[in-house]
Copies of this chain bind each other. A is one copy, B any other.
Amino acid sequence: MPKPMKRRSKKAGLPPGTLVHIGEQKMTEPKIILIDYDETHFEEKEFQTIEECYVLKEKPTVTWINVDGLHRAGILEKLGECFGLHPLVLEDVLNTDQRPKLEDYEGYIYIVLKMLYPNGQNQRIEAEQISLVLGPHVLLSFQERQGDVFNPVRERLRSGKGRLRKLGSDYLAYALMDSVVDNYFIILERLGERIELLEEELVANPTTKILHEIDHLKREMIFIRRAVWPLREVISSLQRGESSLITQNTRIYLRDVYDHTIQAIDTIETYRDMLSGMLDIYLSSVSNRLNAVMKVLTVIATIFMPLTFLAGVYGMNFKYMPELGWRWGYPFFWLVIISLGVFMLIYFRKKRWL
């Protein structure tokens, strides 16, 4: 079951802006990769000292600093100082149970997204928080663990083809958000396949396991919905917003991500409707099976009760029972029994009980 909430309680009572990592520690050592580029120049290296940060800040090239792993608050604090981030931003980066949201600070925009990925062990969907801080020609991205969802973007940067290298940090932010949203479709497709499989099984053999699977998928949908639904408003306000950090050109691309988000939400809603329908079918198939069982019982009882009664009659010890003395009494008894049985079978067949 996707946990509906993470342990926030350890933060209760602490002053705001206290940097405590809320969430599981998903990797051993944080890793910071720095990419610096413009149309002609490209540089990629591991982040060494915090002084680099102050140098890069001044350069007109686009700088992308990607932090994988959040459990070392010290590095974050230094980064925050260098780029002048509000303490609440750093706190939110570390509290990995944020909803997707957009916060417009003076000089930079803070965006929270949710990446979805299937847990390796039990195939449950889990969410990873991705934070983006978009400055004039700087983009900071924070991930809970080393992921490959941004690799295609890195590849495009390295190759230098396409628009990416020519445009600013806002387009880079768009590219990252786009890859996160594209990833939703992969997750949804996989769930769609599981729903379809489940449906076939449901028709073939409705067991309690299927009921629990339906319930489980319903919850996955609730979980995914919570991760995707607020994104709609985030992108919409980015696209319509008056922030000067987003160029007109990028806004058109954001409209595209917006459409994809709506499509993802649409798909989630459709899956929820489908799962509700499957629940109805499951419940009525349980009733139908009860009906079938009861019919068998009724048929058996209706056939054998009269027969047993008849056998009982001729087992009585009355002195004067003429039939008992008849030569053909016994065969005649069988004749009656078999006719009665056959007649009832025909009758039940007619009533479609068999």
Contact = CB atoms under 8 A, between A and B. Distances in A.
Interface of A: 1, 4-5, 7-9, 11-17, 86, 88, 91-92, 97-99, 101, 103, 105, 151-152, 156, 162-164, 175, 178-179, 182-183, 185-186, 188-189, 192, 196, 199, 203, 208, 211-212, 215, 218-219, 222-223, 226, 252-253, 255-256, 259, 262-263, 266-267, 270-271, 273-274, 277, 279-291, 293-298, 300-302, 304-309, 311-321, 323-330, 333, 353
B296 A297 contact: no
Given A312-B311, A312-B315, A315-B315, A12 B302 contact: no
A93 to B, nearest CB: 13
A339 to B, nearest CB: 15
Given A294-B294, A312-B312, A317-B321, 9 more contacts: A8-B185, A13-B152, A219-B274, A287-B290, A301-B305, A308-B308, A316-B324, A318-B324, A320-B330
A301 B189 CA distance: 48
7 contacts: A1-B199, A12-B152, A284-B286, A290-B294, A311-B316, A317-B321, A319-B326
Nearest to A290: B291
Nearest to A328: B320
A342 to B, nearest CB: 15
B296 A179 contact: no
A283 B282 contact: no
B13 A179 contact: yes
A252 B89 CA distance: 10
Given A16-B253, A189-B5, A312-B311, A219 B277 contact: yes
Contacts of A314: 316-318
A91 B288 CA distance: 49
A217 to B, nearest CB: 11
A333 B318 contact: yes
B186 A12 contact: yes
A167 B264 CA distance: 39
